Amino acid sequence: MNESYAREHDSMLPVVREAGEAVMQFYTSQKYSVQHKDPENPVTEADYAAHRVIVGAIKRLFPQDAILSEESDSAEETARMQRDRFERPRVWIIDPIDGTREFIKGRDEFAVSVGLVAGDRAVAGFVFNPAKGYLLSGAEGIGLFLNGEKFTRMPEKPFAPPRIVVSRSEFKAGELKHLENAYPKLADYAVGSIAYKLALIADGTYDLAVSVRPKNEWDLAGGAALMNIAGLELADKAGAPMRFNKRALESSGIVAGTPAACAWYRSLAQ
């Protein structure tokens, strides 16, 4: 870590909090419209409210940087984001609400996710679950922070199998059968929002996360930065380390965790 991203972290921390507060206004009132980009991909007024808070702040604070958000207010904004991310050395990758389906169902397993990518590496990140009052953030050069306070990851517990967290939707769909011998009560470890799960790996609550479905960069960037800062591994299903701002934004699932936990999973999957 030769470069510190303290200014980026400290500038964006209150912005992410503000975005989460905007989301919570809709969550507590349960009064918002829902649209569907496709049958499995809903978007709400809360998504757009958080998007506008974050994007507006980045444009003001870091006008030289590119922005890539899952949401946008227009086709023109989408086209500009796609163009700018290849023309500028840094890009902020945003998921205004990761776990929108959980949000709609009233479950407190969703998160605002923001990651700063320099080159192809996530170097600063924020994952905020406002329903739980949980904000894990960090940046290269300054480490991790939990709700704004300096934080050190809890150590990995010396036993196998590793403490695991998985996707609720993948478990319900029967896509995680290969884990059920090692985890007979796998349902107990099912949590919504991949960004939130990555934060729970980065803070040491869990040691391993596995997802078999494709993921987009905005799902992962914020949590990936936290994983990098904590010295953890994040790879696609084939084992390739996760890189960002690629032309193809989708990856083939993920394996994330401590080096020992990821090695354990790879041996299980062989």
Is there a binding annotation on residue 70?
yes
75-123 pLDDT per residue, tens: 899 999 999 999 999 999 999 999 999 999 999 999 999 999 999 999 9
Two structure tokens written together for 185: 């009560």
With a pLDDT cut of 70, the percent of the chain lying above it is: 98
- The domain limits of the chain are 6-151, 164-269
Q: Identify the burial level of 164 via C-beta atoms within 10 angstroms of its C-beta, where 0-12 means exposed, 13-18 middle and 19 or more buried.
A: buried
Architecture of domain 164-269: 3-Layer(aba) Sandwich (3.40)
pLDDT score, position 146: 98
Rounded-to-integer distance, Cα 244 and Cα 132, Å: 28
Two structure tokens written together for 131: 């329903």
Between these two residues, 207 and 157, which has the higher pLDDT value? Answer: 207
Rounded-to-integer distance, Cα 185 and Cα 208, Å: 16
Rounded-to-integer distance, Cα 134 and Cα 55, Å: 21
Average pLDDT, the chain: 94
Residue 23 sits at φ, ψ, to 5 deg, of -60, -40
195-248 pLDDT per residue, tens: 999 999 999 999 999 999 999 999 999 999 999 999 999 999 889 999 999 999
Per CATH, 6-151 and 164-269 having the same topology is answered no
Residues in the chain: 270
Say whether pLDDT at 60 is over 60: yes
Buried b / exposed e over 112-122, threshold 16 CB at 10 Å, is bbbbbbbeebb
Which distant-in-sequence residues (6+ apart) come within 8 Å of 34 by Cβ?
42, 43, 44, 104
What is the DSSP-derived secondary structure letter of residue 187?
G
- Strands 90-98 and 66-69, bridge-based pairing: parallel
Residue for token digits 């107990």?
188
Fold classification of 6-151 (topology level): Fructose-1,6-Bisphosphatase; Chain A, domain 1 (3.30.540)
Is there a binding annotation on residue 188?
no
Is there a binding annotation on residue 95?
yes
Residue 16: pLDDT band (50, 70, 90) is: very high
Is there a binding annotation on residue 98?
yes
pTM for this structure?
A: 0.95
Average pLDDT over residues 65-74: 94
Rounded-to-integer distance, Cα 232 and Cα 225, Å: 10
Average pLDDT over residues 50-70: 98
Rounded-to-integer distance, Cα 209 and Cα 187, Å: 14
Is there a binding annotation on residue 3?
no
